[in-house]
Amino acid sequence: MLKKLLKYDFKSVLRYWWIAAVSTVGLALIGGWSFSIFENPKEFPEMLYVVATLAAIVAVLGGIAFAIMTVILLFSRFYKNFFTDEGYLTFTLPVTRTSLLNSKLIVSVTTVLMTGFVIIFDMLVALCIGEADVIFTREFWITLGEEIKHFFETLDGYVVFAIVQLIVSAILTVIISVLFATCCITIASIIAKKAKVITAIAIYYVANSTITFGLVMYNLFAMETLVDWLNGVPIYLENPTAVLMSICRLLFSGIFCAVLYAFQYWMLDKKLNLS
């Protein structure tokens, strides 16, 4: 049944998402053109610079709007499917709540990752167009190859570890972000009878601010070194302590994911009242 849910959820999300994704690629082409105007040593009419500036602004705003639209699309569907009148139908389906939650989580995480890839692709497209005179030269690729070679030599035998850690860390970060937001939406839907969306946003920012404040206070008590170990890929992976702390960071993120997932499931299974 999970496959059918995934098919339905992906179809519902992607029928709007792909239009925005293709649009951002077009905006990236326009942004790359405007960048090439500014980088060109030739003198152009003043009006052309004005148009190029406006085009660059539109391209940047388009990328930001794409990311915001993705977030709104995903979480509005989560709210609509679970906590509006549609929720009565959703929870009467012959499907376990685990499958319902897993479907929403998988679709949300996948869509967020795809959005990130599209934005990175757009940036590369704009860069290639704007810096075409530099990028499409033999000297550039020779220099790039040397830099990549030096990077791998620096990491020595820990290249695979660094890449795996980076991928796993990125995925866990997205999962935590999605679960954190959906938990806030669920809490708001349970405790608020009206203005549930506003309540969810307020809960999100209060909870996020509390966590951020906790991390700041943690740093104030002379724990900067441990915090640095727990954030980011270590530069010197040959240090056993750094490697151990990197693994601990991933384990902590995994445990946090599990806690958020269990809390979300508990709320949907025990606290949700659709009557």
Residues 100 and 194 in one domain: no
Residues 205 and 92 in one domain: no
Residues 167 and 219 in one domain: yes
Band of pLDDT at residue 177, cut at 50, 70 and 90: confident
Q: What percent of the chain has pLDDT over 70?
A: 79
pLDDT computed for residue 249 by the predictor: 75
Residues 83 and 36 in one domain: yes
pLDDT computed for residue 223 by the predictor: 43
Instruction: Give the tens place of pLDDT for each residue, 219-253.
Output: 444 444 444 544 444 455 555 666 666 777 788 88
Residues 173 and 67 in one domain: no
DSSP per position, the chain: -HHHHHHHHHHHHHHHHHHHHHHHHHHHHHHHHHHHHHH-SS---HHHHHHHHHHHHHHHHHHHHHHHHHHHHHHHHHHHHHHSHHHHHHTTSSS-HHHHHHHHHHHHHHHHHHHHHHHHHHHHHHHHHHTHHHHTSHHHHHHHHHHHHHHHHHHGGGHHHHHHHHHHHHHHHHHHHHHHHHHHHHHHHHH-SS-HHHHHHHHHHHHHHHHHHHHHHHHHTT-HHHHHHTSS--S-TT-HHHHHHHHHHHHHHHHHHHHHHHHHHHIIIII----
Using the CB atoms, write b or e for 231-247: b if 16+ within 10 Å: eebbeebeeeebbebbe
Residues 126 and 236 in one domain: no
Residue 147 maps to a domain: no
Instruction: Give the tens place of pLDDT for each residue, 57-100.
Output: 888 898 889 988 998 888 888 888 888 777 777 777 778 888 88
Residue 144 maps to a domain: no
Residue 145 maps to a domain: no
Residues 108 and 4 in one domain: yes
Residue 10 maps to a domain: yes
Residues 83 and 185 in one domain: no
Residues 176 and 214 in one domain: yes
Residues 2 and 127 in one domain: yes
Domain boundary at 82, 105, 136, which?
136
Residue 141 maps to a domain: no
Domain boundary at 136, 168, 192, which?
136
pLDDT computed for residue 37 by the predictor: 78
Count the domains in the chain: 2
pTM for the full predicted model: 0.79
Residue 6 maps to a domain: yes
Residue 110: burial class (beta carbons within 10 Å; 0-12, 13-18, 19+): middle
Domain boundary at 101, 136, 171, which?
136
Instruction: Give the tens place of pLDDT for each residue, 182-217.
Output: 888 888 888 877 777 677 777 777 776 666 655 555
Residues 172 and 217 in one domain: yes
Residue 271 maps to a domain: yes
Residue 266 maps to a domain: yes
Residues 179 and 258 in one domain: yes
| Full domain range(s) for residue 8 | 1-136
Beta-carbon-side half-sphere exposure of residue 127 (alpha carbons within 13 Å) = 7
